[in-house]
A and B are shown apart, each in its own frame.
Chain A
């Protein structure tokens, strides 16, 4: 169930958690996982926003998260933000028809979101930067890992950012 309102405190918490995710993401990418196995953790935050966060603020936050991804990748500022907003719109639209507590739903949404995000990001890069569009359509370890981590990320975020008046 979508939160009706969110406190400033929780908003700050959310932004801090995004920074923490950036931090963890960098550590995973730089020090632990091989390149093709790094999960896209920030997609978990976008999925969480789509499912639970109040709408007007959520779209802003999704945009900011996308922008953070852009700056992490350091190629262009914008494609990630655009894709984050589009994925938010898509997931928030279908979320009312899904049983969000089901593990399977979270995993499928996670995989779909990372698939669309990476595909769309590369497409926009090819448009604005003139790079040749190349996308691996096969099952990728990084995508699968992202999808499998999705329930855990959402669960942690729900516990951390639960509104005071929420029954969730």
Chain B
């Protein structure tokens, strides 16, 4: 037998013996863990003091790795959360809009029940461009039996009347338009007058007989005498008394609309015929 072959045979026998020894050691150490603990102490014991010192210098490096990988996760999580926030914000604004619409419709419904007025609700789909022409466009037209002259309310207050009707939409002249005039009376019925538009949500109370005492904050309601508007619709409040001269025939006052006429969304077109 050659030296090489002899060497191989010896190696194989040695390896077999060592493998057997390893298996026996495994079996023994599974029941006697103190052997492993002792071995671990012998192998790693000498390095522990040095590791303790080095950990101060290398600990930072390890932290950098850990933090880096954590940051990668955080970045990913952040992106996902940002997306979720975007979706939730969108849903939230949609719900807010629905809530607002629901509130407005509830007010209109209540108004309709209380006043027994028939009509149809509509959405404001456009505004007139200038302050001189104060009108809005509503998504109801002749196909919804809308006619010129119909009173239009929002909430529980008058906002104007229909001046033009088209297919699927109509134009509503707001009460603060310069061409608008509404016959009104005070909340206690002491006086009557006409409210004329001046733009920007402001109106003027005119033709109130001299000697009438006006009170700031007093509510004004439609009288129904002009034939266009049902009686008793809230129009606005006296904001400022402008003429107090008793020598003149009439007194006048500045009137503020009960609603913000620049922020209309849902309106109710009253059928004057019924």
Contact = CB atoms under 8 A, between A and B. Distances in A.
B183 to A, nearest CB: 84
Contacts of B66: 34
B55 A71 contact: no
A30 B51 CA distance: 8
Interface string B17-41: 0110111111111100001110110
Contacts, number: 117
Contacts of A82: 18-19, 22-23, 26
Given A27-B54, A55-B7, A74-B40, A79 B26 contact: yes
B66 to A, nearest CB: 7
Contacts of B50: 23
Contact of B39 (A33, A77, A88): A77
A71 B22 CA distance: 13
A1 B65 CA distance: 41
A150 B22 CA distance: 26
A46 interface: no
Interface in B33-65: 35-37, 39-40, 42-44, 47, 50-51, 54-55, 58-59, 61-62, 65
B8 A128 contact: no
Interface string B58-95: 11011001100100000000000000000000000000
Size range of the interface on A? 35 or more
B14 interface: yes
A70 B157 CA distance: 88
B212 interface: no
A22 B44 contact: yes
B52 to A, nearest CB: 10
B179 interface: no
A82 B62 CA distance: 32
Centre residue among B30, B42, B62, B65 by max chain A CB count within 10 A: B30
A85 interface: yes
Interface residues of B, number: 39
B69 to A, nearest CB: 7
B11 interface: yes
Contact of B58 (A32, A60, A74, A128): A32
Contact of A60 (B12, B18, B24, B62): B18
Nearest to B63: A31
A92 B12 CA distance: 11
Contact of A72 (B7, B44, B51): B44
Given A23-B47, A56-B10, A124-B26, A75 B58 contact: no
Contacts of B44: 22, 26, 71-72
Given A71-B36, A77-B29, A82-B19, A32 B61 contact: yes
Given A59-B11, A72-B44, A78 B25 contact: yes
Interface of B: 7-8, 10-12, 14-15, 18-19, 21-30, 35-37, 39-40, 42-44, 47, 50-51, 54-55, 58-59, 61-62, 65-66, 69
14 contacts: A26-B44, A26-B47, A27-B58, A31-B59, A31-B62, A55-B11, A67-B22, A67-B39, A68-B43, A74-B40, A76-B25, A78-B26, A79-B22, A85-B22
Q: Which 5 pairs, one residue from A and one from B, show the smallest C-beta to C-beta distance?
A: A78-B26, A71-B39, A31-B58, A78-B25, A82-B22
